[in-house]
């Protein structure tokens, strides 16, 4: 049998105290700027081509760098002639000695309901999910433990997902389901067998325009592996389509502060930052009295004329006509 080092043991103990999805799918506070990661049906819905990059350092200050660190880079664009959209995303999620990596392509078909002034999108995605383990970060109880002799090992498996998304003038949301194939990773041993469980992400948001320059945007993200669930509730305000700030609460984990701004003349480059105050399990998640997590996002929207010629309305989460 094997024994994990102190830093890895702490990580696994903490992760074991939260729903399973937190281990297999990377966690992000700025989910409203990273929708394609959760739902393939979001591809092209905004009607513009955009690039997004997010970096998250969770539980900063954790001893010996054993805290989770995640990155995701995504691209999505509309295909107007086919009433659809296309997207790509790459995710890297480091959890102590384990690295999870994901590369997927998404396609979505958009259905316009003119009577309801609503766009409904149906999406699918496919690609690869990989896991890498560095056993050099593990300490064995018994010398020569065969489970720890492989050093660095890597496995890749196919992965698929599907989803539906809707967007109207004020209300938006959707449901995405990941890991439909339930691929398994075992690294040559049943002891280390780890399947990818089905995960469902449910998003819902509302945009309330107050006056000419202020938009209030409450939103909700619910995540479940069909055994346990977790939710994040967020309230944000946007001023003059340029500055935004908000607060959110992640069930059983943290209270979060979000802020950001748009730059360039056409406000096409957006920078966001979030700061998480960990309020549960701080002794295991940080070397200090209060654990913190940090997340930065950067989104660039390429200039593109809307085919209908209608006025484009933009806010920090999306833009539509």
CA distances from 46 to 120, 121, 125, 166, 271 (A): 12, 11, 18, 11, 18
In the numeric block, the tokens 């393939």 are attached to 40
* pLDDT computed for residue 107 by the predictor: 98
* pLDDT computed for residue 144 by the predictor: 59
Give the whole-angstrom CA distance, residue 295 versus residue 282: 18
9 pLDDT above the threshold of 90: no
* pLDDT computed for residue 147 by the predictor: 58
74 pLDDT above the threshold of 60: yes
In the numeric block, the tokens 């409904």 are attached to 120
19 pLDDT above the threshold of 50: no
pTM for the full predicted model: 0.82
Q: How confident is the model at residue 271 (pLDDT cuts 50, 70, 90)?
A: very high
* pLDDT computed for residue 318 by the predictor: 54
Q: How confident is the model at residue 295 (pLDDT cuts 50, 70, 90)?
A: very high
Q: How confident is the model at residue 207 (pLDDT cuts 50, 70, 90)?
A: very high
């Amino acid at each position: 049998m094997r024994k994990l080092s102190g830093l890895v043991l702490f990580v696994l103990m903490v992760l074991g105290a939260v729903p399973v999805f937190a281990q297999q799918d990377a966690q992000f506070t700025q989910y409203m700027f990273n929708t394609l990661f959760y739902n393939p049906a979001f591809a092209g819905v905004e009607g513009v081509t955009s690039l997004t990059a997010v970096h998250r350092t969770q539980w900063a200050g954790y001893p010996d760098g054993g805290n989770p660190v995640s990155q995701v880079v995504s691209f999505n664009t509309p295909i107007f002639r086919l009433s659809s959209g296309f997207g790509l995303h790459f995710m890297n999620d480091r959890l102590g000695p384990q690295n999870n990596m994901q590369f997927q392509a998404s396609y979505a078909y958009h259905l316009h309901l003119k009577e309801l002034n609503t766009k409904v999108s149906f999406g699918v995605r496919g690609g690869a999910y990989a896991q890498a383990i560095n056993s050099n970060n593990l300490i064995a109880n018994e010398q020569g433990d065969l489970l720890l002799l492989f050093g660095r090992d890597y496995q890749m498996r196919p992965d698929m997902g599907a989803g539906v998304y809707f967007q109207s003038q004020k209300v938006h949301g959707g449901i995405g389901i990941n890991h439909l194939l339930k691929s398994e990773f075992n690294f040559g041993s049943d002891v280390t067998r780890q399947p990818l469980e089905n995960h469902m992400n449910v998003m819902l948001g509302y945009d309330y325009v107050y006056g000419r320059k202020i938009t209030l945007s409450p939103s909700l993200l619910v995540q479940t592996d069909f055994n346990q669930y977790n939710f994040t509730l967020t309230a944000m305000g946007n001023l003059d389509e340029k500055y935004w700030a908000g607060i959110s609460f992640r069930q059983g984990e943290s209270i979060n502060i979000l802020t950001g701004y748009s730059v360039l003349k056409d406000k096409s480059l957006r920078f966001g930052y979030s700061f998480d105050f960990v309020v549960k399990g701080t002794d295991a998640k940080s070397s200090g009295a209060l654990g913190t997590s940090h997340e930065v996002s950067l989104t660039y929207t390429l200039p593109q004329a809307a085919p209908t010629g209608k006025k484009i309305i933009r806010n920090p989460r999306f833009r539509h006509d």
